[in-house]
Amino acid sequence: MAKLIMTAEQMKDRDAWLDVRSHGIGGSDASVIVGLNPWKSLFALWMEKTGQAEPEELGDNERVYWGNVLEETVAREFTKRTGKKVQRRGVLQHDDIPYLLASVDRLVVGENAGLECKTAGASKAKEWEDDKIPDAYYVQCQHYMAVTGAERWYIAALIGGNKFVWKEIPRNEADISALLEAEKEFWRKVEAREMPDVDGSESCTRALAAKFPGGGAAIALPSEAEEAIRYLDELKKIQKDMEGQIAFHENTLRVLLGDAEAGTTADGRRVTWKPQAGRVTIDGKRLAAELPDVYKRYAKQGKGYRVLRIAG
């Protein structure tokens, strides 16, 4: 059901691997398409797949770096605990749907199955309790089964550097069918260069800034703009009211603490109110006036960005 289009050895050429990924939908893309990826928006993915933005460079991301470094360790531990042998494969392509790709971590020898290797911080431990796995990873594994025709997929994770878990994810035809429909529609928009809907994520905001760098003349906005502004006015009023309520309850806790720097409620919640040293800042205006050469030597300008403001 799938053919090998790039070996594990060839995948070491990151630029070549990214080029292959740009021509289809991979496992990590699947969760973005169905709105279950906490790190990337659909609009950002569309920008990448249409060649309007470079894939986000994650090589310097500590989380991603250690995930790559520890992949082999997780795979070996899976084999040690289960007795199941695994092997590297590479990038696979669906035989009938060429835009469906799968950069699988491992395939399981002697089974119609694969293995996904993960690492997670200790703060994510609850997401792996009992039979649970993060939704994004569940979708990723179903995507791999859709591409390869596998009957099941295993997922193994090293959590907090000292807890190992592994689980079996059975093939779910209903979920795969829904996923394939969503991926088909997304790829249609990629090929037609039809923009997907936006969302409220930071990822989407960054992608919109890349799509529309500015510089154009003023325009007359359509009626949708008036509706959006009305919603914003209402939401900002609610936000202001909520911030006032939050501040009120925080001040209530301050009164209840008094001079105590910490307190514990009957249900085990701990509240602290401790002194904190003031932040050290540099008077840039004075430094520029009195020591202009030093100021120029160490001044660093951030990346420019567009600011959205509503007047009237």
Structure tokens at 67: 């995930």
Structure tokens at 304: 């420019």
At 6, which helix (H) or strand (E)? strand 2-7
Burial of 279 (0-12, 13-18, 19+ CB in 10 A): exposed
Residue 35: which of 50, 22, 48, 45 has the closest Cα? 45
pTM of the predicted model, to two decimals? 0.83
Place of tokens 């429909």: 181
Query: Beta strands of 224-264 (E only): which ranges?
Result: 262-264
Contact 276, 198 (CB under 8 A): no
Contact 58, 64 (CB under 8 A): yes
Averages of pLDDT over each 10 residues, the chain, 312 residues: 87 85 94 94 96 71 72 95 95 96 96 96 92 95 97 96 95 98 98 96 93 94 95 97 97 97 96 94 92 91 86 84
- The confidence score (pLDDT) of residue 49 equals 96
Distance CA 287, CA 178 (A): 60
- The confidence score (pLDDT) of residue 59 equals 46
Other CB atoms within a 10 A radius of the CB of residue 113 amount to 23
* CATH 3.90.320.10 in the chain, residue ranges: 2-211
The angle formed by the CA atoms of residues 108, 114 and 119, to the nearest 5 degrees, is 110
At 246, which helix (H) or strand (E)? helix 223-257
- The confidence score (pLDDT) of residue 63 equals 67
Is it true that domain 2-211 has CATH number 3.90.320.10?
yes
